[in-house]
Structure 1
Amino acid sequence: MIVRKLTASDHVSLQKLWSICFMYSINVEELEKKAEDQKEDPTGYGAFTEDGEMIAGVIGNRLTMNFDGQKTPLVGIGGVVTHPSYRKGGAIKAIMKELLTKAREDGFIFSGLYPFNHGFYRKFGYELSRDLETYTFSFTLISKYAGEVKTKLLTEKDDRTFLHPVYEAFTKRYNLAIDRNKDAFLRATQSNPYAANDYTYAIYDGDDPSAYVAFYKKDAEHESILCVRDYAFRSEKDFIKILSFLSRFSPEFGKIEIALPSDIPIALLSSNPYDVEKKVNSRYMTRVVNCEKALSMMKRYIPSPFVIEINDPFLPENSGKFRVWCGGCEKTEEKADVKMSIQAFSQMMAGYAGFDGTLFRDDVELFGNYETLKMVFPKTATYLGVYY
């Protein structure tokens, strides 16, 4: 088995592999014609037989996410596939080893993915880092917010990039939030009200855009649901403006469905919290690719130095003891205050459970400095904003 970086000539082979494994139809002739003009290499790695047949592939999307208010390199894993005839042969393990090693060398600090199976990716150092919390509630619960709100319906022909600063301001609140380039932002805020019943509204504070909301109609058994698929706001008051505007659609819809970060207390904002339904989907995993850099990047109050030992058998160069203080981090041989696996560390850095929650794991040992560690690693709300 040969593992190497994918090149432009591998586009068709990768598409054919996806077609076989994900069971969808493709037009090979059309793909081959398009491939003739395809000059850009896919950002990923493949595994090949000695005869050159592609048997597995992984895409490594080069992304940027927010970490403690800083734009931080993230390699987003996607398109993971192995030909059924070659499964159980270690192809993905070999690819992930090569991909993550190179990503670390290239300056990436975090990696993330949407797993088909959490246990499979834990073998490579990933751990659950975010729950998708989706709420469904009736319009009567937000009727108290009804009022005057200045809005504008956008169409597919309208420029929507003027809303991008709103998204930037919103996502700066949350670790893990992924940057959107122009194309990604335009896809997320697409608005085709007439042909597709897909709507994006800009919301204003005076003459300045301060929020936006994008939604579509979903038909349920006995009612229609207003499904919010994207939104952003500059401040808490601007989120209330979103609720105020959405309350106007009560004649057309029975309920609202919206996914929210955990720091937005929708039940507390509702007139009858009993009527708020919540669905949780634990669907996103991350892993730290460079522990030393991640620790040194933290913008948090650290009352006293601490030493953390991290064990990363999949990327041994990422293991070690690290002495951390306010504004810095270095490798050390000092006695550790806490010892943990890369999975536990990655989950803690994402803010998923906080240090107290991390202590419930069987791959964490605490030796001292509890108060400092508890303060430095709190449980925090997160957001993604991009599906890759």
Structure 2
Amino acid sequence: MKIRKINNNERLEILKGDLYAYSRWTNQDLPRSHLTAINTEEVLAAEIDGKIAAALQCFSFQQSVRGCLKPMGGIGGVWTYPEYRNQGCVKALMKSAFLEMRMQGICVSMLTPFKESFYAAMGYAIANSTNEVNIPIVSLSNYLKLPKSANWQCDRLAATEVKDILANFLSETLRSQTLLPHSHGVTITKFSYDQWWHLHRQKLCVVVKRDRQIVAMSIYAIDSSGNLPTNERQIEISSIFWTDIESRDRLLHFFASHRDQIYSLKMPVPLGTNVHAWLSDAGKMQSTMTEPWMVRAIDIVAALNGLPIQCDPFTFAISDPHCIWNEGVFGVNSDRGELVVKRYGKGDFQDLAINFRATIAGISALIYGTSAIEELVQNQSITDLNSETYQLLEKWFTPCVIYNPFKF
């Protein structure tokens, strides 16, 4: 088996593999736009006997981790043809992806698993899902009573045109800590324009401005086809962000304006959100949980450095058989409210008191806040800690809900 990057002439084979794994198979020619959406630098392929047997894509993103922007590798498009399964293709691809991410300065990774236990064995920690709620459009009617005001503006654009607008909005609001409904886990894409166009060619974007400044955005698709029964006509929101209650209400006013056109609004919300507080007479609503996210630290030092946590000095030892550069003993302190991490050399920690030991999944769970300390101790992701360290870790690394409506 050989793991390698692909060339431009092999993009069609990657598309066929995606089609076989995730869609309805067709022998018809695929549009050229599908090919241009594949960045060969992001694709790793497993070659067996001169043929591409499996592949994955590793996208370069930025992600908010406890309010700190980190370079993140998003794993997606993982597939293996059936005749090559159970030969270790995806495991080999993932190991190569870890090395690629490290060489590119990417310190954390995220994915939605095809099998949770497989990625857990690769060092990923299980995180939460996103809640997708179907909201009756009539329950938004009260927002139509909002007074008109000259300082508010609502623009509707093709979603293909807002790549940079959305990225800048997310970057600025994350830095100013004003992004709502939740910021932990939010991803800023670095797609090419061809990739962005391919993903958003059938979507729209609404941009809400106050005093000419963008304060809310949402990307959505609408299907109000005349041949659909009324109760199947829907707006499906793929991402939605605002900066305060006023800007949220202006977004909901925009969607409420469709009440004579559609029946319901499907919207992603962070787990634990009381959506009923926004609505009027919504009654019983349907909701679904997406696949859970899984997260991993690729470079321990870079992943921990800069996190906004005030702590006392502590030392831990980590085991990471798939990323040997993470193996070792690390010291952590804080400087002006941010973590500072040091890796100790082999001869430097013989006399050190190690406060705990952890697997890579355990440290990844601490970084992202995906589990309580009690859970990590119970499943032995963290071991050899006394009661004082236990209580301090509980204080410093509080659990956090991940909210990333963007799917890749």
Please, what TM-score do these two structures have when normalized by structure 1? 0.82
2:4 is the alignment partner of 1:4:
yes
Alpha-carbon displacement from aligned partner over 1:342-370 (angstroms, at most 9, x marks no partner) = 22322332222343553443433342423
Displacement of 1:19 in angstroms is 4.3
Task: Give 2:123's match in structure 1, choosing from 122, 125, 129.
Answer: 125
Structure 2 Cα separation of the partners of residues 26 and 140 of structure 1: 44
1:245 to 1:354, Cα distance in 2 relative to 1, 3 A = farther
Aligned position for 1:337: 355
Give the direction of change, closer, same or farther, for the CA distance of 1:223–1:26 in structure 2 (3 Å limit). closer
1:81-126 per-residue CA deviation (whole Å, 9 max, x = no partner) reads 2222221111221221122123223321011222211112222112
Identity %: 17
1:29 and 1:264 map into 2 onto residues whose CA distance is 41
Partner of 1:287: 296
Q: Which residue matches 1:48?
A: 47
- What is the CA-CA distance between 1:77 and the residue it aligns to? 1.4
Question: Residue 310 of structure 2: which of 282, 288, 301 is its match?
Answer: 301
Taking the TM superposition and a 5 Å limit, the aligned residue runs for 1:216-365 are 216-217=222-223, 222=231, 224-262=233-271, 264-270=273-279, 275-302=284-311, 304-327=312-335, 328-332=340-344, 333=349, 334-365=352-383
For the residues of structure 2 that align with 1:185 and 1:170, how far apart are their CA atoms? 24
Question: How many residues were matched structurally?
Answer: 378
Is the 1:112–1:286 Cα contact (8 Å) retained in structure 2?
yes
Q: Is the 8 A contact 1:171 1:383 kept in 2?
A: no
Distance 1:47 1:155, change over 3 A: closer
> Does structure 1 conserve the Cα–Cα contact (< 8 Å) formed by 2:234 and 2:266?
yes
Superposed CA deviations along residues 15-52 of structure 1, whole A, max 9, x for unmatched, are 34444444522556987xx98x9997342322223x42
Cα distance in 1 for residues equivalent to 2:256 and 2:39: 46
1:240 counterpart letter in structure 2: D
Residue 147 of structure 1, CA deviation? 0.7
Aligned with 1:374 (options 394, 398, 408): 394
Change beyond 3 A, Cα 1:43–1:254: closer
**CA contact under 8 A between 1:309 and 1:322: conserved in structure 2?**
yes
Distance 1:293 1:231, change over 3 A: same
User: What TM-score, normalized by structure 2, do the two folds share?
Assistant: 0.78
Matched-pair contact (CA < 8 Å) for 1:151–1:204: yes
Secondary structure of residue in 2 paired with 1:107? coil
Q: Is the 8 A contact 1:189 1:230 kept in 2?
A: no
State the superposition RMSD in angstroms: 3.6
Counterpart contact for 2:131–2:290, Cα < 8 Å: yes
Select the residue among 71, 76, 84 that pairs with 1:78: 76
Query: Is contact 1:189–1:214 with CA below 8 Å preserved after alignment?
Result: no
Change (3 A) 1:58 1:201: closer
Kindly tell me: are residues 383 and 72 of structure 1, through their superposed partners in 2, closer, same or farther at Cα, counting changes over 3 Å?
same
- For the residues of structure 2 that align with 1:273 and 1:301, how far apart are their CA atoms? 42
Q: Secondary structure at the match of 1:175?
A: coil
Q: Residue 283 of structure 1 aligns to a residue in which SS?
A: coil
C-alpha change, 1:175 and 1:341, in structure 2 (3 Å) is same
Structure 1 residue 166 corresponds to structure 2 residue 169: yes
Contact 1:126–1:346 (Cα < 8 Å) also in 2: yes
Q: Which residue, out of 89, 94, 97, partners 1:96?
A: 94
**Alignment CA distance shift 1:287-1:26 (3 Å):** farther
SS at match of 1:230: strand
